[in-house]
Amino acid sequence: MTTARDKLFIFDTTLRDGEQSPGASMSPQDKLRIAKQLEFLGVDVIEAGFAAASPGDFESICAISKVIRNSTVCSLARANPSDVRKAGEAIAAAPRRRIHTFIATSPLHMEKKLNMTPEQVISRAVEAICIAKEYTDDIEFSCEDASRSQPEFLYRIIEAAIREGATTINIPDTVGYAVPSEFGAFVRDLREHVYNSDQAVWSVHCHNDLGLAVANSLSGVIHGGARQIECSINGLGERAGNCALEEVVMAVKTRNDFFKLGVDINTRQLVPTSKLVSSVTGFPIQPNKAVVGSNAFSHASGIHQDGVIKHRETYEIMTAEDVGWTSNRMVLGKLSGRSAFRQRVRELGIPTKSEAEIDDAFARFKDLADRKVQIFDEDIQSLFDAKNIQPQE
């Protein structure tokens, strides 16, 4: 366990922002299954949905609130009284419950989308937080499109939100527009200018439109001082998605010499959780996806295979087992070397009489690999079958 000061809170939004991925809608039963798995994974907060979005979403948040005991259950709510009340009712059964209310703060959104003045936006935020307090004392306030908002306006609205009772302040990069060093400095500037900033946990919520969600989130933590990251399994989310939970968690864990932060995630559940979300949504995981892709711990080239056989750390910065794979994988193909071939022969329990026999089979394996894209264990076995062995001169 880590102390509040050096702990990084993991806020999972697979069931809310993740479900906003076009084509990724989930049934209430699927959501409950995923929520239970997220609790087992150890996430601090499960954003279970957006209670006012539909009766189905409301019911599903209620059902999740009844069974989740260790993680905080959260519902999103626009900053208006009826949304906040719906969120409060939906999470009522959860022992740890949060209302996450938000309103847009960028000039573009305030003028073109909300048609509201900045003063009206502040009043709405304050009113929403005031109502949320009737349901819970764990209240998160988000400034939607923060990265394109005026810092001076953000100072004012965030100060008002904290004064009213917000306990987490979330800075979203809603459209994935930020770049890492700029975003970290942006969060730091806000924390330095908001006079009551130390009365709230600061959070970041980054979208992946430019492929920078994980980098921006980490910069928000390391340079900005944020202590909560909002993320989702497999990076699921609106448009190009959100910060991928498995990547950000393994970055902080693997480079803890640098981050020096505690993350209470059972990393061995990362792959099972990723597979569950993939099968429920029907979104396949790309093979080269960091941590949970099928190639993430596969070694194909002879030089790499030989290195890993001699010492895993030559080409692995974390172990496959630590993130929930059963083992790393030597992919046998035309790039493979003799060491990996020999190791697979041993693993398959193929009896060999001499190193010369292995050399001979290896030569035939190379020949086969030139003709066949994937080499299966049965192919290796057949290289040693009597009928395939050429009589020695």
The binding site for Mn(2+) consists of 17, 205, 207, 242
C-alpha span between 109 and 116 (Å, rounded)? 9
- Closest CB 113 distance from ligand KIV, rounded Å: 12
Q: Which does 305 bind (CB under 5 to 8 A by kind): ligand KIV, Zn ion, none?
A: none
Give me the torsion for CA of 201, 247, 215, 235, rounded to 10°. -90
- Paired with 101 in beta bridges are 77, 141
- Closest CB 359 distance from ligand KIV, rounded Å: 58
Question: Which residue, 171 or 323, has its beta carbon nearer to ligand KIV?
Answer: 171
Note the residue count of the chain: 393
Question: Which residue, 101 or 267, has its beta carbon nearer to ligand KIV?
Answer: 101
User: Which regions of the chain does DSSP assign to beta strands (E)?
Assistant: 9-12, 45-50, 72-78, 97-104, 139-144, 168-173, 201-206, 228-231, 298-299, 329-330
- Closest CB 17 distance from Zn ion, rounded Å: 4
36 with 71: CB under 8 angstroms?
A: no
DSSP class of 207: B
Question: Which residue, 12 or 17, has its beta carbon nearer to Zn ion?
Answer: 17
Question: Which residue, 237 or 337, has its beta carbon nearer to ligand KIV?
Answer: 237
Q: Which residues are annotated as a binding site?
A: 17, 205, 207, 242
Q: Find, among 161, 157, 176, the residue nearest to 110 by Cα.
A: 157
Stretch that binds Zn ion, among 10-18, 44-52, 102-110, 369-377 (CB under 5 A): 10-18
- Closest CB 328 distance from Zn ion, rounded Å: 34
As a three-state string, the secondary structure of 337-372 is: CHHHHHHHHHHCCCCCCCHHHHHHHHHHHHHHHHHC
128 with 77: CB under 8 angstroms?
A: yes
Task: Quote the tokens at residue 198.
Answer: 């130390």
Contacts to Zn ion from residues 232-251, by CB under 5 A: none
Binding string, residues 15-44; x marks residues near Zn ion by CB under 5 A: --x---------------------------
Question: Which residue, 214 or 375, has its beta carbon nearer to ligand KIV?
Answer: 214
Say whether residue 230 binds Zn ion (CB under 5 A). Answer: no
- Closest CB 229 distance from Zn ion, rounded Å: 13
Stretch that binds Zn ion, among 14-22, 72-80, 122-130, 300-308 (CB under 5 A): 14-22
Kindly report each contact of residues 390-393 with a partner whose C-beta sits within 8 Å and lies 24 or more positions away, as own/partner: 390/360
Q: Which does 144 bind (CB under 5 to 8 A by kind): Zn ion, ligand KIV, none?
A: ligand KIV
The number of beta carbons lying within 10 Å of the beta carbon of residue 260 is 10
The number of beta carbons lying within 10 Å of the beta carbon of residue 378 is 8
DSSP structure string for 30-41: HHHHHHHHHHHH
Task: Quote the tokens at residue 320.
Answer: 């496959």
Question: Which residue, 245 or 375, has its beta carbon nearer to ligand KIV?
Answer: 245
Q: Which does 333 bind (CB under 5 to 8 A by kind): ligand KIV, Zn ion, none?
A: none
For 308, phi then psi, to 5°, come to -65, -35
Task: Quote the tokens at residue 160.
Answer: 């008002």
Question: Which residue, 11 or 58, has its beta carbon nearer to ligand KIV?
Answer: 11
Question: Which residue, 229 or 380, has its beta carbon nearer to ligand KIV?
Answer: 229
Q: Which does 219 bind (CB under 5 to 8 A by kind): ligand KIV, Zn ion, none?
A: none
The residues, any chain, with a CB within 8 Å of residue 248's CB and separated by 6 or more, are: 214, 217, 218, 229, 231
Give me the torsion for CA of 213, 49, 93, 166, rounded to 10°. 50
Q: Which does 142 bind (CB under 5 to 8 A by kind): Zn ion, ligand KIV, none?
A: ligand KIV
Residue nearest to Zn ion (CB): 17
What residue ranges bind ligand KIV (CB under 6 A)? 17, 76, 102, 142, 144, 170, 172, 174, 205, 207
Q: Which does 105 bind (CB under 5 to 8 A by kind): ligand KIV, Zn ion, none?
A: none
Sites of contact with Zn ion (CB under 5 A): 17
